[in-house]
């Protein structure tokens, strides 16, 4: 009769068949904001002007136009922030 071994079989580690990534390949694939796009971004943020400002002042008057310019960003940004927070929990992965 053949004797049976009581030692458990050796299993390979759970990551044995998975491809490995190195930090060099991860760093290459990450999109970073370099100097030239950053310069263009800053330029267009500063050089842009509020188009439609004059017609708004003509239509509503200076007081209501200024109040509108002060209140509208909050009306716009609160729902935008809530949507961003909701989607960031729905899609927790980083990378777009």
Q: What is the mean pLDDT of residues 78-91?
A: 90
In a domain, 30, yes or no: no
Put simply, whether the predicted model's pTM sits higher than 0.75 gets the answer no
- Given a cut of 90, whether residue 24 has pLDDT beyond it is no
Share the mean pLDDT of the chain: 78
The predicted pLDDT at position 49 comes to 72
Judge whether 73 lies within some domain. yes
Kindly report which listed range (3-7, 55-59, 91-95) carries the lowest average pLDDT score: 3-7
pLDDT at 92: 75
d(CA 52, CA 50): 6
How many Å apart are CA 96 and CA 51, to the nearest integer? Answer: 30
Residue 43 lies in a domain: no
Report how many domains make up the chain.
1
Q: What is the DSSP string of the chain?
A: -PPPP-SPPPPPPTTTTSPP--HHHHHHHS----HHHHHHHHHHHHH---TTHHHHHHHH-HHHHHHHHHHHHHHHHHHHHHHHHHHHHHS--S--
93 by Cβ neighbours in 10 Å (0-12 / 13-18 / 19+) ranks as exposed
Q: What are phi and psi of 15, to 5 degrees?
A: -100, 15
Domain membership flag for residue 17: no
Instruction: Note the pLDDT of residue 41.
Output: 86
Q: Is residue 75 part of a domain?
A: yes
Domain that holds residue 83: 62-90
- Per-residue pLDDT tens over the stretch 25-71: 555 656 788 899 888 888 888 777 777 888 989 999 999 999 998 99
């Amino acid at each position: 009769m053949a004797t049976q071994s009581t030692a458990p079989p050796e299993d390979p580690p759970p990551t044995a068949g998975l491809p490995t990534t190195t930090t060099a390949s991860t760093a290459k694939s990450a999109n970073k904001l370099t100097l030239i796009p950053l310069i263009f971004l800053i330029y267009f943020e500063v050089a842009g002007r509020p188009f439609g400002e004059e017609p708004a002042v003509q239509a509503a008057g200076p007081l209501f136009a200024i109040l509108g310019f002060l209140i509208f960003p909050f009306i716009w940004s609160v729902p935008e922030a809530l949507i961003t927070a909701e989607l960031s929990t729905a899609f927790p992965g980083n990378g777009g």
